[in-house]
Amino acid sequence: MPANSLQTRAVTHRVLLASLVGSAIEWFDFFLYGTATGIIFNKLHFPAADPLVSLLLAYASFALPFLIRPIGGLVFAHIGDRIGRKKTLIVTLLLMGAGTTLIGLLPGYDSIGIAAPILLVTLRLVQGIGLGGEWGGAVLLAFEFAPAHRKGFFGSIPLAGVPFGMLLSALCLGAASLLPESAFMQWGWRIPFIASAVLVAVGLWIRNGIDETPEFEATRMSGNWSVVRRWSCLGDPGAKS
């Protein structure tokens, strides 16, 4: 097999891995909160005289990112057309990972009062924006690297990250729940959230090792800035010497 063909296959596999792993990590972070909503956050961050009210408030905080995701998609679609798919996906992964890690470090209502639910909701909104950009960006990354006859298959790879992320979040929180109940409620539940930083670091390492998509590079090199325009605060990727 020619060396160029082997190199192309290696790049393709790395891109697919970057799309799949990044998507799985994002959804792990997202569903980790959902798994903990009804057993942790209703008690620690949304205490109320009526337990049903606490539960409803906690699940409302889980639902908020679904409403904010379209805004994240619009914002990062615009940014992705200006600075590139790779850089955009690194930012979205950082947003989601930072939100998850900070949730794991966030004190409860007993410690900081009303600031606890306010900060928790704020972090959830940050996650929703990050997920909105990640979802479309991961599919676009895989799609633009795909050969013409396999674009549908490549575009489907990031979708597999959803069940992987959901399964991993359930396994991690389930393992933490094996601790004694008092230890689990005090600090055990925080371990999967804080450990998310390790997964994000792995995802960033994988994504940093790929190139920009061929379609974006072709547009940049051609100087056709109807799609890819100069963004002065991040430098001009199309400047020519």
DSSP 14-28: HHHHHHHHHHHHHHH
Average pLDDT, the chain: 83
Q: Say if pTM beats, i.e. exceeds, 0.75.
A: yes
DSSP state of 52: H
H or E segment and range at residue 137: helix 115-145
Whether residue 168 contacts residue 24, with contact meaning beta carbons closer than 8 Å, is answered with yes
Domains in the chain: boundaries: 3-234
Q: Residue 104 has what pLDDT?
A: 94
pLDDT, position 59: 92
Cβ-proximal residues to 44 (8 Å cutoff; 6+ apart), any chain: 108, 109, 110, 116, 185
The confidence score (pLDDT) of residue 224 equals 58
Distance CA 124, CA 120 (A): 6
Describe the crossing of helices 3-36 and 51-83 by its angle, rounded to 10 degrees: 160
Burial of 47 (0-12, 13-18, 19+ CB in 10 A): middle
pLDDT beneath 70, residues of the chain: 1-9, 11, 223-241
What pLDDT sits at residue 123?
94
pLDDT tens sequence across 27-61:
898 889 988 998 899 999 998 888 889 999 999 99
Q: What residue type is 114 in one-letter code?
A: I
Q: Which CATH class is domain 3-234?
A: mainly alpha
**pLDDT value, residue 8:** 66
Type of residue at 222: S
Can you tell me whether residue 216 is helix, strand or coil? Answer: helix
